[in-house]
Structure 1
Amino acid sequence: MKKNRLMALMLTGAMLLSMTACGKDPSELVYLKDFKPDKYVTLGDYTGLPTTIAAPEVTDDDIDTAIMNSGLSDDCKVPVGDRDVVEVGDLANIDFVGTMDGEEFEGGSGAGYDLLIGSGSFVPGFEEGVVDMKVGETKDIALTFPENYYEEMAGKDVVFAVTVNSISTYDREKAREELEQSAKETYNSQVAAELIDTLKQNSTIKDAPSGMVDRMNQTLISNVTAQAGAYGMETGAFVAAVYGGTADNYEETLRTYSQDVANQYMILAAIAEKENITVTDEEVTEDIRASLGADATDDEVASMMESVDEEAYREYLLTMKVCDFLAENAVTAEE
């Protein structure tokens, strides 16, 4: 994290903005907990605000699509307990080894792979060959790659040695709940973004302290530099493509963006203060656990806790809670 900067202004101006936080210089105000947001924000109306975004609805077709596209988490899977034979529509967990002329070929093997039978995601004939296999059974499936397959394998004869490890299926009610939760989160985020624009117009806002902006800007620079590298791009070119501006002035673009985000955080924090919305230590821990997956161990959670900026993470969760509050108290066009 960026070190706090002590500025001479702290010692000189009695009327400086820094005096609104127990005399601290703005560069020392790094997190929301370091100052009172309402010293920087005078809120306008924030409940009953209009939104143009329609509430989401999850249909049976949405569930079917998510199942076919493997767009559901493991929490939606349930083991098949009344039979041990693979049927169309099952999620067969398989190991497979593909060979051509007796030799394994690149990309032709896998272990513990969940294959939805009937999805058509594998080579034609593969899934049909798995149908009627029993759990624990190993079977050779002889196939010919299609002529329109990529050049090295087009029209080639291959054999897959397939073992069925287990059979499961998707619980549609759990799938619906998961999709509804995801849709709600997306909706709340979109509505909140729209309402924050409204709040910027109907509220009086002083720019967030420089320390908070510095912290957010440093994190942003680190993130975009890594992302640019992953795409094989120069940081300036990446910023210009994603955030606007020019490649030469990318640092100024990111600084302006960080200032805007910090101001938004202050607006949301001011609402949180009025509505007594808080984030507990337990909520921080449980959210990190959820991000790691249901099987995460206490040691893995503790390790992740040590690797993140916990206070910044707490701020993020707080803003998400307030975004949910804004969305839940918005008025849609239908209303």
Structure 2
Amino acid sequence: MVKVEKIDGSKVALEIEVEQPVVEDALNQAYKKVVKQVSLPGFRKGKVPRPILESRFGPEVLYEEALEIMVPDAYDNAVEEAGIEPIDRPEIDLVQMEKGKPFIFKATVEVKPEVELGEYRGVEVTRELKEITEDDVEKKLDAMRHEHVKMHVVDGAVEQGDLAVIDFTGYKDGEPFEGGSAEGHSLEVGSGSFIPGFEEQVVGMKAGEEKDIDVTFPEDYHSEDLAGKPVTFKVKVQEVKRKEYPELNDDFAAEVSEFGTLAELKEDVLNKLKEEEENRAKTVVEEKVVQAVAANSEAPVPDPMVEREIDRMTGEMEQFLRMQGLTLEKFTSLTGKTMEDLREEKREEAGQRVKANLVLDAIIEKEGIEATDEEVEERIEKFAESYGQPVETIKEYFEAQGQSNVLRQEIKFRKAVDFLMEEAKITDVAASEPKQEE
């Protein structure tokens, strides 16, 4: 039996009663575990009868173990009976635990809040769609030329943009310093990857030439021994390599694509850029529609849900950094921020995401949006194709990780967004020029 009491905010208190026969069964199980650890004169270890055990130590000796047996199932059953959706771990308080009586406890838990939906059909938003021009196509083709650049050795002097293969040794106060030497180092002159003032002095050197280069380390250099200090590098150029960009012609098109002519490649680039722009605009307008619907609705945003969303966002950030060869710890060290700083920066956006998801959930329920078994199967097949794994392997993974319901929920969310997009009033406008950002 369960009594439900709503507390302020989105908390609920459940007073849960467990019938005496169930209590007795749990006490018996508890006795079988506890007695193995008890030794009393006149009895072999583990053979003390329950009445004597309770008489000697009190019936409470079994309560802790019995509670661990009873509470989880009783709580789960009460949650199902009450029809609530907890979003956090419950606080458990003992109300009654006496021999021969039902066991009563109170579970206070934060639940998924109720959403008061506003107008969600026909919200008005604008879609900014950038016109793809010939200039955009040329920029893309130029980027493709840079991707297929070739390097060739030249006899002349180093110029800006060249790759100088150098040996160098750095000296401070006439002594070599740690980490200041290398052989066969490839330096792209003009990249700004070396100490300020170094690359400019490499310009004009030729293969085989040696030179002393004087520079001063920046005041904020990470090594205190070198920060702000003047040093001398003895530099020798091994060879000079210059970039050779391919010409934009039919040969280039045949080399980098499945097309035989430059005209065909240009048309393909144009179509792909248009598709990318349409996808970008679609993503942006979907976010606008969902945020507009969320703004029209009332939904409390519980802290536990925000914290979980921040966890997810920092997890995404960590994954992205790993792809760039960084760790979260290294990133915080470089930026001078703590994990608490990063989490706080994400709090507002996390709250917006939580509210949007709560509103979408409410729309799913109100509109009766479902994810069919066929749709789930189709999504699993796409995962299998993407990862090059058998469908059964992916299916077993989702089931083993308990992610099947998550997959089904994602499908519902996608269908809910599609529904809102179909109902929305979308006006196309020309995209404004992007602002220059540092």
The TM-score normalised by the length of structure 1 is 0.51
Candidates 74, 87, 94, aligned match of 1:26: 87
Q: How far 1:281 sits from its partner (Å)? A: 0.8
Pairwise mapping of residues 118-137 of structure 1 onto structure 2 (< 5 A)? 119=145, 121-123=147-149
- Residue 221 of structure 2 aligns with which residue? none
Distance 1:185 1:28 in 2: 40
2:88 is paired with a residue of what secondary structure? helix
Q: Describe the shift of the 1:290–1:203 C-alpha distance in structure 2 as closer, same or farther (beyond 3 A).
A: farther
Q: Does 1:298 align with 2:372?
A: no
Q: Describe the shift of the 1:165–1:259 C-alpha distance in structure 2 as closer, same or farther (beyond 3 A).
A: closer
- Residue 297 of structure 2 aligns with which residue? 203
Q: Describe the shift of the 1:198–1:12 C-alpha distance in structure 2 as closer, same or farther (beyond 3 A).
A: same
2:120 is paired with a residue of what secondary structure? coil
- Residue 269 of structure 1 aligns with which residue? 361
Q: How far 1:266 sits from its partner (Å)? A: 1.5
- Residue 6 of structure 1 aligns with which residue? none
Q: Which runs of 5+ in 2 are unaligned?
A: 13-78, 91-110, 166-238, 243-253, 430-438
Pairwise mapping of residues 78-89 of structure 1 onto structure 2 (< 5 A)? none
Q: Describe the shift of the 1:326–1:54 C-alpha distance in structure 2 as closer, same or farther (beyond 3 A).
A: farther
What CA RMSD, in Å, does the superposition of the two structures yield over aligned residues? 4.9
Q: Does 1:14 align with 2:109?
A: no
Candidates 128, 140, 144, aligned match of 2:153: 144
Candidates 288, 301, 315, aligned match of 1:194: 288
Candidates 162, 168, 173, aligned match of 2:258: 168
2:128 is paired with a residue of what secondary structure? coil
CA deviation profile, 1:274-302 (whole Å, cap 9, x unmatched): 4454443124214424654xxx3426972
1:205 is paired with a residue of what secondary structure? coil
Distance 1:221 1:23 in 2: 29
Q: Does 1:50 align with 2:143?
A: no
The TM-score normalised by the length of structure 2 is 0.41
Q: Describe the shift of the 1:326–1:226 C-alpha distance in structure 2 as closer, same or farther (beyond 3 A).
A: same
Q: Is the 8 A contact 2:384 2:391 kept in 1?
A: no
Answer 1 or 2: higher relative contact order, Cα 8 Å, separation at least 6: 1
Distance 1:151 1:202 in 2: 60
Q: Describe the shift of the 1:176–1:318 C-alpha distance in structure 2 as closer, same or farther (beyond 3 A).
A: farther
- Residue 231 of structure 1 aligns with which residue? 326
CA deviation profile, 1:13-63 (whole Å, cap 9, x unmatched): 61244669614543269xxxxxx98x6222222233222332455566656
1:266 is paired with a residue of what secondary structure? helix
Q: Is the 8 A contact 1:228 1:235 kept in 2?
A: no
Distance 1:42 1:28 in 2: 25
Q: Is the 8 A contact 2:380 2:395 kept in 1?
A: no
The aligned amino acid for 1:222 is: G
Aligned length in residues: 240
Q: Is the 8 A contact 1:18 1:24 kept in 2?
A: no
Higher-Rg structure is 2
